[in-house]
Structure formats: structure tokens, C-alpha cells
Amino acid sequence: MSNVRNTIIIGSGPAGLTAAIYTARASLEPLVIEGEPSSSSDQPGGQLMLTTEVENFPGFPEGIMGPDLMINFRAQAERFGAEFITEKVTKVDFSSRPFKVWIRDTEYSANSIIVATGAQSLMLDLPKETELIGHGVSTCATCDGFFFRGQEIVVVGGGDSAVEEATFLTKFASKVHLIVRRDALRASRIMQDRAIANEKIEIHWNSKVSELHGEQSLSGVTLTDTVTGATSPLAVTGLFIAIGHKPNTAIFQSVLNMEDSGYLMTRDGSTYTDIEGIFACGDVQDHTYRQAITAAGSGCMAALDCERWLEHQH
Ligand code: NDP
């Protein structure tokens, strides 16, 4: 029988590491299974590991690099005794207590689990795309729009996110090209009307970004007409990809309640999932705000919910 822990935290973005800081300070000796670097766009620390400058995280008036911020989060959790395993959970069994999680053949068990596995932005899967993240390519207009003041940029997608981001980005950019792969937008009517009426937005229908140009930073893209196949260059310094997100919940399928889109469901105003003793925080259960600070806030909520629940059990 393996040693039963008070709590295991799965995930190490702002939500998981904030939960680790709080549970460690509450003497719960958390074990954080932080993930492992499996590709340049999938590594411990979450989405901030893919950003450059973060200017909107409170407490850093001069800004801070995303990876540095996550190194600080982790060091703070370690200082209070959080233990880390740099691997990915491969299987879970939450059907009875203690709950069990596996990393391949090794079993770990705990009286409570905090799920903070985050979400990923869907990407175009083009060469250079990952290398240019933070150097012209972005998946977050709220985070990076400010850096494109007076510049010409493209936004890819036709849903509410893309249209909202394109409209938001007109505050900064001199011109926003919205690249839509069909002859219609998926976004709600009111958002569409707002974008179509905006003089700074040019919509390219039946169009896709097929190539990225630039070495150190983005200098342009190639557009391909999805009907005729004709290509044309477009000189832009920014590319915002807004084609949707995917929560990292594959291992929780048929285990935890989730929406059709895969986001975990939590009880209103809390981080309780449908299984007592399992808590979820951060982007894995939030498709609305998706900010580092809101993820961190929800990690704090999960730690407090977990601590109080464990106290009640004992
Ligand atoms: P959606 O799934 O709604 O839209 C994705 C868009 O990206 C679609 O237009 C889709 O095209 C396009 N797309 C997908 N893959 C590719 C690709 N490989 N290349 C080019 N284009 C592609 O995602 P959103 O993130 O926009 O929205 C998610 C949910 O959040 C929705 O329910 C939305 O309503 C909601 N939301 C609401 C907001 C609000 O109300 N203020 C703001 C933001 C989101 P196609 O249409 O051809 O499939």
C-alpha cells in the first residue's frame, strides 16, 4: 500500500502552483505532479511558459517574463515544502477513497485531489508557429494587444473569440485583417455587426494563413484562398490565433462531470467537482476569463476548499 497523501495537485500553471503555495503553508505537504516537457508548446508551468513579457500580472509594475513568473511561483511553493514530480499523470481512479493516480505503473494515493491541468489554445500547426510565439504570434489579445500599437496585424478565426479579439485589437493596431476560412462567421450577430462596421477591420473571406515569415520575429504571412487556392502575401507584424481552446481533460473522461466542450464542471462559486474531495481550478474549468491572475485566484479557492473539506473529514 502506497503512502496516502493529504493532497495531490495535478498541473503546475498559475492555478496549480497557487494551490500548492496555499496547501503547503497549511501543512498539507502537497505533491505536485507538474507535467513534463513533451513538446515546445507543452511543458510544466502552463501557458505562461509560452509568453514573453507579462504586463498585467499585479505586483510587477515593470512587467515580468512569463517563464520567470512561473519559476517564482514554483520556488515559492517549494519554499513551503511542496514536493514536485516532473511527469504526467497517465490514469486516475476517483471511484473510492483514497483517490489514486498513476504515472505509468507507479501508483500515488491521496485523500483529496486538486485538478489544475489547464487548457491549450488550438493552433494552426504551421512551421515556425511555436518558435514565433511571443515574437509576433499570440493566442491572447488581452495579454499582447498593447505591444502592437500602430502596427498591422491579422486575427485568424470566425467565432466570437476571433471577432471580439479583432474588435479589441483595433484599439492598438493601425489595421486588423480578420482571416475567415469560410464565407461566413460563426460569431453571434451582434459581434459580427460590430466587426463589419469597424473601419479598421478588413475581413478576408474563404481565406487561411498558410505560411509564416520572419526569423527573429514575424514579418508577414501568406494567405491562401480556400476556394481557388490562389496565394497572396500580407505584410503584418502580429498574428493572433483565435480558433478555440481545448481543456486538458482527456484523463478525466467518464470520471468527472464535464461540458460537451471538455471543460470540467464545478459547483457555482466554488471549486468542488461532482466527486467530493476532488477540486478543479484554473483554465481547466474556466472558458470565460482565462487569465493568469484569475487562474491563480481559483487555485487559492481550491486550496481553501480542499483544506476545509479535509478538516471536516477528520
Ligand atoms: P469557436 O469554436 O466558436 O470558433 C472557432 C472559429 O475558428 C470558427 O470560426 C472556426 O471556423 C475557426 N477555425 C477552427 N479551426 C480553424 C483552423 N484550423 N483554421 C482557421 N479557422 C479555424 O471558438 P471561440 O473560441 O470563438 O468560442 C468558444 C465559445 O466561447 C463559443 O461558444 C463562443 O460563443 C464563446 N465566446 C463568447 C464570447 C462572448 O460572448 N463575448 C467571447 C468569446 C467566446 P468554422 O466556423 O469554419 O468552423
pLDDT single digits (tens) 35-89: 988 765 667 898 888 777 888 899 999 999 899 999 999 999 999 999 999 999 9
**Single-letter code of the amino acid located at 311:** E
**Nearest residue CA, atom 32 of ligand 1?**
160
Residue 34 Cβ < 6 Å to ligand 1: no
Give the whole-angstrom CA distance, residue 97 versus residue 4: 10
> Which of the residues in the chain have pLDDT under 50?
1
CA of 158 to the centre of ligand 1 (A): 6
CA nearest neighbour of 187 among 161, 209, 208, 168 = 161
Q: How far is CA 273 from CA 134, 197, 264, 268, in A?
A: 34, 42, 8, 10
Task: Report how far residue 120's alpha carbon sits from residue 106's, in angstroms, rounded to the nearest whole number.
Answer: 27
Q: What is the dihedral of CA 9, 11, 15, 18, to 10 degrees?
A: 50
C-alpha to C-alpha distance for 38 and 33, rounded to whole angstroms: 14
What region, left, alpha or beta, does residue 54 occupy, with left being phi > 0 and alpha being psi -120 to 50 degrees?
A: beta
- Give residue 159 CA to ligand 1 midpoint distance, Å: 3
Q: What is the pTM of this model?
A: 0.83
Are residues 207 and 235 in contact, defined by beta-carbon separation less than 8 angstroms? no
Q: What is residue 86's predicted lDDT score, i.e. its pLDDT? A: 96
78 Cβ partners below 8 Å, 6+ apart? 84
Residue 305 annotated as catalytic: no
Q: Is 244 in the pocket of ligand 1 (CB under 6 A)?
A: yes
- Verify whether residue 144 is a known catalytic residue: yes
Looking at residue 311, its pLDDT comes to 97
The one catalytic residue in 105, 143, 260, 281 is 143
Q: Write down the pLDDT at residue 52.
A: 76
pLDDT value, residue 1: 46
**Quick check: is 306 catalytic?**
no
From 243, 261, 291, the mutation candidate for ligand 1 (largest count of ligand atoms within 8 A of CB) is 243
Neighbours of 219 (CB within 10 A): 14
